[in-house]
Amino acid sequence: MLKPILPDPDSLSLSQLVAQMIVVRTTGHLFDHEIEYPVWEANHPQLEHYISDLGVGGIILLGGSGAEIALRCQALQAMADIPLLISADIEEGVGQRFSGAIWFPPPMALGEIARTNLALARQYAHQFGQTTAREAMAIGLNWVLAPVVDVNNNPANPVINVRAFGETPEIVTELTQAFIQGAQEYPVLTTAKHFPGHGDTSVDSHLSLPVIDHDLARLDQIELAPFKGAIFPGAGKPVDAVMTAHICLSALDQQYPATLSKPILTGLLRQEIGFDGLIVTDAMVMGAITKTYGAYEAVVLAIEAGADVIMMPADVEGCIQAICEAVRVGRIDEAQIRASVERIWRAKHKVSGPAAAGPSCHNWEPTEPVTQVQQLAQPKTIELAKTILQASSRQGGTGFKPKEQGQNVILVDDVLSARHFLPRTAPAITEPMGWGYELTLLDSRSSQLPKTGLPTLVQLFVRDNPFRRGKPVVQLACQCLELLAGDLQAVVVYGSPYLLEKLSLTDHVPWVFSYGQMPMAQALMMETLTHGTFVLGAIDQSFTD
């Protein structure tokens, strides 16, 4: 006899229903002493309380290896009476957050390919979605917080930037639809973000509230078009969830940001566009919310606006109590809470049914989940990532030849956060070291400048990263390139095409560019630089398992 995995919502108390609407963040590492963000990430006793006592509905993970995540997800699900939705921001593949899996270049690399070959870019995006879902499911994740559906039409955007699939609604719509269709071949949830469009901003919503003043006609033509494409793709199933943006759109609501706006979430997204999946907030600890609204009032406003899921509230227990109190005093109708839980139940049925497997899944029959980490980093996955990196790269000039002695100048946004892509064994370090080049590592806080009078390779690792403060590293890059003009042998740029444009490199000095920053991208760029041309491979057409 098959057992139902989810209880009748009528059997749950109001606080239990509300708890199902909460997603809390914790580390992907197995032990509390490895927590990297203690203000945001629950330790083990807190997490056990949230899951076992309060009954929260979901978890978001960051950090650790794929093998750790598989064990972590299995332990988390074992704590829960009701199956958990376990999520991660894996916009660049599972390896972006969890070592051992494959880290893909950012989505804009596919947009680069689409400029000249949209059909090929769609194929890669579909395979990218397949791979992300398969690797996520293998280690216990059942909710992919991707794709980014924003149109990055503002080069100064510090928070979306290369996370977007492109700069036009046409390309973004095509590629995000392909990604979603690929991912939906597996029992995981997909998420279109950040509604109603975070692409045309120059303020980081992690720090403060961006304001967009476009009229409704412009919003419908540019920002909303990819979201409509994700919700009504024509072919395939609609996206499972839509994540809100912490931005103010005066044409739609002059009082509240989108995450807290009933005209935007209920009026536009739910009623006018007709989306019936999960509406999930962006993290409620972000500065765009916390600087203006208290932790408790903000979550009540989000539920009033039409959100089904609250992501990363500042005080989990206090927020549950605040929402329950809003129901008791009549600010929120209990029927709305129950409607949200029904949507959450549909989502949990999708990822926990007979087709689902892996350590995150409560099966219909009570069997012990089995980890599937052997599914990570399969040869075809590595081939796909490498092919996208190659096909989206750029180069200019030729003739680089290492000298017997020289220097390798590496500039990064932040030395302390660069270890994820720039370990001691990174090709950007070891390859020039093999030529006899000494290393100089600088970031935007560095007071020193590189030596002159030596043959010099300059490598720039720059993305417009969230939370970045201080002098942009592009200023330091320009200063170094000017200082080293007479000694410059070659330039390698990893990350942002907008930086590449600001540098105004000419073909007088060999240069190469990669959207990726990971060691795989570094190895490809070193090979390209020394051999003078890209060696493009052909992706296997029979990619699907």
pLDDT (tens digit, 9 = 90+) per residue, 159-198?
Answer: 788 999 999 999 999 999 999 999 999 999 999 999 998 8
Strands of 413-464, DSSP E: 437-443, 456-462
- Tell me, yes or no, if 206 is annotated catalytic: yes
Token output for 222: 């540019």
Give the strand pairing for 191-195 and 241-244.
parallel
- Tell me, yes or no, if 282 is annotated catalytic: yes
Give the strand pairing for 22-27 and 310-311.
parallel
CB atoms closer than 10 angstroms to residue 532: 15
Q: Which residue has the tokens 């590595």?
A: 382
Annotated active-site residue in 126, 198, 206, 246: 206
Supply the pTM of this predicted model. Answer: 0.92
CATH 3.40.50.10870 is the classification of domain 393-531: yes
Determine the Cα–Cα distance for residues 278 and 489; give it in Å rounded to an integer: 52
State yes or no: pLDDT of 217 exceeds 50: yes
pLDDT given for residue 250 in this prediction:
87
pLDDT given for residue 464 in this prediction:
61
CB atoms closer than 10 angstroms to residue 508: 9
Which CATH superfamily does the domain covering 15-375 fall into? Glycoside hydrolase, family 3, N-terminal domain (3.20.20.300)
What is the strand order of the sheet 143-144 is part of?
143-144, 85-88, 58-62, 22-27, 310-311
Annotated active-site residue in 282, 308, 413, 464: 282
Name the residue ranges covered by the structural domains of the chain. Answer: 15-375, 393-531
pLDDT tens readout for residues 401-449: 999 899 999 999 888 888 889 999 999 999 999 999 999 999 878 888 8
pLDDT given for residue 470 in this prediction:
42
pLDDT tens readout for residues 227-280: 999 999 988 899 999 999 988 888 899 999 999 999 999 999 999 999 999 999
State yes or no: pLDDT of 496 exceeds 60: yes
> Cα angle vertex 302, ends 323, 319, to 5°?
35
> CA dist 448 to 126, 441, 460, 491, Å?
45, 10, 16, 20
pLDDT tens readout for residues 303-352: 999 999 999 999 999 999 999 999 999 999 999 999 999 999 999 999 98
